[in-house]
Amino acid sequence: MTEQMTVRGTLKGHSGWVTQIATTPQYPDMILSASRDKSIIMWKLTRDETNYGIPQRCLKGHSHFVSDVVISSDGQFALSGAWDSCLRLWDLTSGVTTRHFVGHTKDVLSVAFSADNRQIVSGSRDKTIKLWNTLGVCKYTIQVSFSSNSVQFNVKMTTAAVD
């Protein structure tokens, strides 16, 4: 049996290509979109037939393409990585950067929160994977032989997976 999918609406707001979208099962009416226009837009889905979602907030601070964005499990924060070699932790209520993570030397390609939101992992084109605390301190750096296009924690937080 083939699953059928239907386009329900289009969200328009970025001036560049959308590079990533993020949502969580806990907050299904919130979507974040990251873009090559160096911004992240927080959307509220309305499910209205003429306007499926409205932009709630535009997060700006990166100086180059935003390549990845994720939402914390409590829905209070977003984490982004960009081609400016930095990560940013965003307060979604105020829309401001609460932490700026500096340590990669090339584009940050992927970011992830641990299940308890207390640890962060990032992968970069500089061929490193970094484990951070939420205060912006890099606790570990792992040198690898490839760019880390995708990083994730497992549910028990005992390992981080890399692609």
Domain spans of the chain, in order of start: 18-162
Q: Are 155 and 163 in contact (CB under 8 A)?
A: no
pLDDT by residue, tens only, the chain of 163 residues:
688 988 888 899 999 999 999 999 999 999 999 999 999 999 999 978 788 899 999 999 999 999 999 999 999 999 999 999 999 999 999 999 999 999 999 999 999 999 999 999 999 999 999 999 999 999 999 999 988 888 988 866 555 555 5
Structure tokens at 52: 């499926």
Query: How many CA atoms lie within 13 Å of 16's alpha carbon, on the beta-carbon side?
Result: 15
CATH topology of domain 18-162: Methylamine Dehydrogenase; Chain H (2.130.10)
Strands (E) located in the chain: 18-24, 27-35, 39-45, 53-60, 66-71, 77-82, 86-91, 97-102, 108-113, 119-124, 128-133, 138-143, 151-153, 160-162
pTM score, two decimals?
0.90
